[in-house]
Structure 1
Amino acid sequence: MCNDNYGKKWTRDETILALSFYYEMPYGKINRSNKYLQSMADLMQRSLSSLIMKMVNLASLDESLLCRGVTSLPHSSKLDKEVWVEFKGKYEYLLLEKERILSSYNTSIKLTNPKVKHLPPAIDLKYYTPKERLVLVRKGQDFFRKAVLSAYGERCCMTGIAVPELLQACHIMPYSKCKSINDCLNPSNGICLNYLTHKAFDLGFISIHKTTKIIMVSDCLKKHPRIDETTKNWLLFLENKSINFPERNMPEYNFLEYHNDCIFKS
């Protein structure tokens, strides 16, 4: 479907949707072959080219991309900048606004996987309506997963494995220990790992140094009575190597510090 609407000004709601799409996919997949973007452009009655351009304009405001030398044409509007600042680091509000806007389109498109965890009991949800709580519980994990995997280009940050079925979005500070909903959803509290490294990370056998981003391997693993050659080749080989940095949402110091101090078996 072609919806050019040439010259039609972007609204705040449309810009918020474009921002949420930007967080949920690798920068390299913001292109015309992306079927998800095509379906969203049709839903918004925008051309695919227009939606892509809006996402690229928003990307030009992302300091993490600029630090990596990724540049784009600086055609962001005043509204783009306002929306970027408004939702910077406020992922729960972005998710709620996205769902509000999508519901206004009365769409039947399935956007998220409802089989997600409940929010940890430590988080106070009294400031949210029942409908907002449902969104945060059912769709928050899906947003987190997409945002983390897309930030790392859908590759394990330790091994480089890129088979989607073998990858997971791993919380650095465990989901159950997060003090706020935003910490649960924050892509900077996540890293992309394969199943084995994810399990080893959760158990504290490996960690990432809070300042150098170097992979650390626990002595408990090295001295494990049942350590085998395969495990040595897979995990001990990672020691002192740097992680592959994400395109955006670099792991934050405070989350890594928690993992280093409270989970890693040093």
Structure 2
Amino acid sequence: MKKGQKLWTREELILTLCLYYKLPFGKMHAKNTEVMQLAKGLNRTPGSIAFKLVNFASLDSDLQKRGVKGASNVSKLDRTIWAEFYQKWESLVLQGEQISQSHLMTEFVQPDERLIDPKAVGKDTEVIRKQRVNQHFFRKSILASYDNTCCITGMQQPQLLVAGHIKPWALDKQNRLNPHNGILLNSLHDKAFETGLITINTDYYVQVATEIRQSKDKKLTSFFLPYHNQPIILPKKYLPHQEFLAYHHNERFKG
């Protein structure tokens, strides 16, 4: 360790790992606003946070499959934290939020009273807050994975993009925060995906239901037919797992 440097703590690494999952690889740099905010909270330089993010990238098998390499100077504690939380999304988010509140005196998600039932108290409030934090983490990780791009149309307006679940939230508690169970679509195609009017097969091609393909409504078909049997824009991280796509195709798609 160089003179003047301080050792990383477990808590600091957990918070940095939480940020890692919410950033595209190309935005893990010192000038990124979120990197600077975390650096300020941890009393570290933005450069040190950015370098640690790239350390984590070197351990990410999703990036390795794309030939993307991170920094080689990975510490033993880096590897330990990565192994402890790899694919254990809910545990990571829970610990990250607890650390954030106790050490930085802030939440992952800024309070939004519109999302909380004013009659909810005690345990109900905790449940709602946890859901909000989890949903925020999931959305950020999916936006990062798809680089803020609808995987069907290529739309890049964040306000119109929905980070949806391939296998529904209500049916698979274990994979609620798993980004491999996520897909980024614009709001129209998200609704069509949710209701089974479109699907994505295990070869990552879009399929449109017969109901739309045979429709005489030209305005309707214009939004869907150009994408029928066309490949999706693949994410840069967290490729959708085929088991989730197969479930949607076999159980939700109207054919």
TM-score (norm 1): 0.86
> What is the aligned partner in structure 1 of residue 120 from structure 2?
none
Q: Distance in 1 between matches of 2:77 and 2:206?
A: 40
**After the TM superposition, which residues 145-184 of structure 1 pair with which residues of structure 2 at under 5 Å, given as runs?**
145-178=139-172, 180=173, 182-184=174-176
- Give distance in 1, aligned partners of 2:211 and 2:24: 36
Q: 1:247 aligns with which of 236, 243, 246?
A: 236
1:188 aligns with 2:180: yes
Unaligned runs of 5+ residues in structure 2 are 118-122
**Which amino acid in structure 1 is aligned with residue 98 of structure 2?**
R
Distance 2:149 2:116 in 1: 23
1:227 aligns with 2:225: no
Coordinate RMSD, CA, aligned: 2.3
Alignment of 1:1-266 (within 5 A): 6-108=4-106, 111-112=109-110, 114=112, 133=127, 135-178=129-172, 180=173, 182-210=174-202, 212-224=203-215, 226-228=216-218, 230-266=219-255
- Shift of the alpha carbon at 1:135? 4.8
Deviation at 1:95, TM superposition (A): 0.5
| Percent pairwise identity | 36
How much has 1:130 moved relative to structure 2?
8.2
Shift of 1:103: 1.3
> In structure 2, do the counterparts of structure 1 residues 50 and 170 end up closer, same or farther at CA, with 3 Å as the change threshold?
same
Contact 1:117/1:141, CA 8 A, preserved across alignment: no
- Tell me whether 104-113 or 20-29 shows the greater mean CA deviation: 104-113
Supply the distance in 1 between the matched residues of 2:32 and 2:242 (Cα, whole angstroms). Answer: 34
Contact 2:100 2:108 (8 Å CA) reproduced: no
Q: Which runs of 5+ in 1 are unaligned?
A: 119-128
Alpha-carbon spacing, 1:106–1:59, altered in 2? closer, same or farther (3 Å) = closer
Count of aligned residue pairs for this structure pair: 247
